[in-house]
Amino acid sequence: MKTDKELQEDVMDEIKWDPALSASAIGVSVKNGVVTLNGYVDAYAKKFAAENAAKRVKGVQAVTEKIEVHFGKGTKRTDTDIAAAALDAIKWHSNVPDDQLKLKVENGWLTLEGTVDWQYQKNAAMDAVKDLAGVKGVSNLIFLAPKTNVTKIETDIINALKRSATIEASNIEVEIRGNKVILKGKVRSWSERRDVENAVWSSPGVIEIEDNMFIGV
């Protein structure tokens, strides 16, 4: 098992390895396997990039992200500019039902609202706007429409986990409460955790996931 010092060095190296990030502007501290990221970036999307870089490192148990967005002179946009760009981005994204969504922008912070049928549509809306210049942050308040027929959810999810080449399904417990799925058990990495969640979100009827999984060896 890596020490906190070794994890810190590995996370810093992974951030340096990402060409989109300026490692000198991002601080990394580690305590008991939990990584805290501080500093600043010049785009909201780079906060995600830094967090994902930390999660890629083997041995990281959790990530706390406290990075701030500081815009340069050429990247500032008015709220009206951001709203117009966001509407266009959503409209042109094939996986986003733009007629079911609304958005607002206040001081560079963009809020998405509305209802969609699938988690991938909610994620697609987020992906469409988070890289826009001038965006300081995004609140994704989009709801998932509940489905009435949820009797097969547990069986379908377990079968999907078993089919996956990247998931050790025998380590995962699945509990269903209405349209909510509770996940328990051990995963080997953040990437496996993400794969488990993506498999669950692909099941019709799921509108909420409670992730109680832990990363272990």
H/E stretch holding 191: helix 190-201
Average pLDDT for 164-170? 94
Lowest pLDDT segment from 73-82, 87-96, 110-119, 166-175 = 73-82
Domains of the chain: 4-69 (3.30.1340.30), 75-144 (3.30.300.130), 153-215 (3.30.1340.30)
pLDDT tens for each residue of 112-126: 999 999 999 999 999
Q: What is the pLDDT of residue 145?
A: 87
pLDDT confidence of 75, banded at 50, 70, 90? low
Average pLDDT for 52-72? 92
> Which has the closest alpha carbon to 191: 67, 53, 64, 35?
53
User: What whole-number distance in Å separates Cα of residue 77 and Cα of residue 38?
Assistant: 24
User: What whole-number distance in Å separates Cα of residue 104 and Cα of residue 172?
Assistant: 39
Considering only CA atoms, give the Rg of the chain: 19
